[in-house]
């Protein structure tokens, strides 16, 4: 089943202890779409400026990514700059320039409106809601990601949008900020009152945790000796997670658990190299090999 995503397509300036890039193709929707397209066709809704070249757009070609919903406008593409600490666990945002996203009014192509799986990747909550409202029927799963930038600047809009989603997928510090609870289980209970019935907390090198009314499920992060650039790990996790669910058309507990593993697999590949470099040359066989490795990693007898 096809999967609809709205979110940022961006140019990023990245600095990590492993190097520096001035203009890497990035954006939450870009990482998400590339990761999810290994599992299912993806319909992309976003906007880019006239500095976005045919060469940049090649990232979407030769994959199952439909770009009819990718609007082009006069002006500059969304720009984000970030710097990582020595151990890659902390990052500071140095710049966020919305540029063409500031006046974006998304119009969903007719063929996108029947989407049953929807991912509202990181972008202004009012844009996320606008896209969700253009989908004809209530989707099987609507999931949302956001970040501190929107929690702080657009809190009321974000809370309004959250009323309409099933799964909230954010990192641990954002979970704490949004819920004003330090403990993640208490935070989950708080977030369930806002609308979502499932919370997926992305915890970087500590893996990810899913909480719903049935209980808690945890996956580790794949142990890597030399991660280079954590940018897009969360979006790639979301792409693997939602891509797997949409590809199989289900949302049972067993499917959600497998989706957590595929999310972790895609996130682990994303951090191996700068920007989208690793996902660009990733093969389906490598994804499945790493998923099998995950199964070994977590197996034990009692
Ligand atoms: P992640 O590392 O998964 O949090 O995602 C990083 C990506 O999100 C980068 O490629 C950025 O271009 C994009 N990004 C950063 N800040 C924002 C924001 N405020 N809204 C939307 N996208 C953003």
- Alpha-carbon gap, residue 258 to 69, rounded angstroms: 29
Q: What is the pLDDT of residue 90?
A: 86
Q: How remote is the CA of residue 12 from the centroid of ligand 1, in Å?
A: 9
Q: Which of 27, 76, 126, 229 to mutate to test the pocket of ligand 1 (most atoms within 8 A of CB)?
A: 27
Output the pLDDT for position 92.
94
Task: Give me 190's structure tokens.
Answer: 């708080």
Which residues lie with the beta carbon below 6 Å from any ligand 1 atom? Answer: 8, 10, 12, 26-28, 80, 96, 122-123, 147, 149, 231-235
Cα(40) to ligand 1 centroid in Å equals 23
The pLDDT value recorded for residue 1 is: 85
| pLDDT given for residue 41 in this prediction | 97
Distance CA(242)–CA(230), nearest Å, equals 20
pLDDT of 2 reads 86
Closest CA to 78 of 93, 92, 94, 97: 97
The ligand 1 atom nearest the CA atom of 80: 12
Which residues are 82's β-sheet partners?
14, 93
Please tell me the predicted confidence (pLDDT) of residue 147.
96
Locate the ligand 1 atom nearest the alpha carbon of residue 30 and give its number.
10
For each of the chain's 302 residues, which pLDDT tens digit applies?
889 999 999 999 999 998 899 999 999 999 999 999 999 999 999 999 999 999 999 999 999 999 999 999 999 999 999 999 888 888 999 999 999 999 999 999 999 999 999 999 999 999 999 999 999 999 999 999 999 999 999 999 999 999 999 999 999 999 999 999 999 999 999 999 999 999 999 999 999 999 999 999 999 999 999 899 999 999 999 999 999 999 999 899 999 999 999 999 999 999 999 999 999 999 999 999 999 999 999 899 99
DSSP state of 162: H
* CA-closest candidate to residue 7, choices 104, 97, 117: 104
pLDDT at 185: 97
Q: What is the pLDDT of residues 170-211, one digit of tens each?
A: 999 999 999 999 999 999 999 999 999 999 999 999 999 999
Token pair for 155: 């809190």
The string of DSSP letters for 109-138 reads -GGGTT-SEEEE-SS-HHHHHHHHHHSSS-
Atom from ligand 1 closest to the CA of residue 11: 12
Atom of ligand 1 nearest to the CA of 124: 20
**3-state DSSP helix/strand/coil % of the chain, to nearest 5:** 40, 25, 35
CATH of the domain at 104: 3.40.1190.20
Predicted pLDDT of residue 133? 97
Q: Are 209 and 217 in contact (CB under 8 A)?
A: yes
Report DSSP state, residue 59. Answer: G
Query: Which residue, judged by its Cα, is nearest atom 12 of ligand 1?
Result: 27
Nearest CA to ligand 1 atom 1: 232
* Contact between residue 127 and residue 104 where contact means Cβ atoms under 8 Å apart: yes
* Structural domain that includes position 272: 3-298
CA–centroid distance, 198 to ligand 1, in Å, is 22
| Rounded-to-integer distance, Cα 29 and Cα 239, Å | 9
**Domains of the chain: total:** 1
Comparing CA positions, the residue from 7, 13, 71, 3 lying closest to residue 38 is 3
CA 87 vs CA 16, 99, 172: distances in Å: 9, 31, 17
- In angstroms, what is the span from residue 26 Cα to ligand 1's centroid? 8
Supply φ then ψ for residue 77, to 5 degrees: -70, 150
């Amino acid at each position: 089943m096809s999967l609809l995503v709205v979110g940022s397509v961006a140019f990023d300036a990245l600095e990590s202890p492993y190097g520096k890039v001035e203009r890497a193709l990035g954006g939450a929707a870009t990482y998400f779409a590339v990761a999810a397209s290994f599992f299912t066709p993806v319909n992309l809704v976003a906007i880019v400026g006239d500095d976005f070249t045919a060469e940049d757009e090649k990232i979407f070609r030769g994959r199952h990514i439909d770009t009819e919903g990718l609007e082009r406008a006069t002006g500059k593409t969304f720009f984000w700059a970030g710097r990582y600490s020595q151990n890659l666990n902390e990052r500071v945002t140095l710049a966020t320039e919305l540029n063409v996203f500031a006046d974006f009014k998304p119009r969903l192509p007719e063929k996108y409106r029947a989407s049953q799986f929807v991912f509202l990747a990181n972008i202004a909550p009012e844009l996320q809601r606008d896209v969700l409202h253009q989908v004809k029927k209530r989707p099987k799963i609507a999931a949302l990601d956001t970040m501190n930038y929107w929690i702080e600047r657009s809190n009321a809009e974000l809370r309004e949008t959250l009323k309409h989603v099933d799964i909230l997928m954010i990192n641990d510090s954002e979970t704490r900020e949004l819920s004003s609870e330090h403990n993640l289980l208490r935070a989950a209970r708080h977030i369930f009152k806002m609308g979502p019935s499932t919370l997926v907390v992305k915890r970087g090198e500590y893996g990810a945790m899913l909480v719903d009314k049935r209980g808690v499920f945890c996956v580790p992060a794949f142990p890597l000796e030399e991660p280079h650039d954590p940018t897009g790990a969360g979006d790639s996790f979301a792409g693997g997670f939602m891509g797997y669910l949409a590809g199989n058309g289900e949302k049972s507990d067993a499917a959600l658990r497998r989706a957590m593993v595929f999310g972790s697999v895609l996130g682990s590949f994303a951090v191996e190299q700068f920007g989208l470099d690793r996902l660009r040359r990733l093969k389906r066989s490598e994804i499945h090999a790493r998923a099998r490795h995950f199964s070994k990693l977590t197996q034990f007898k009692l």
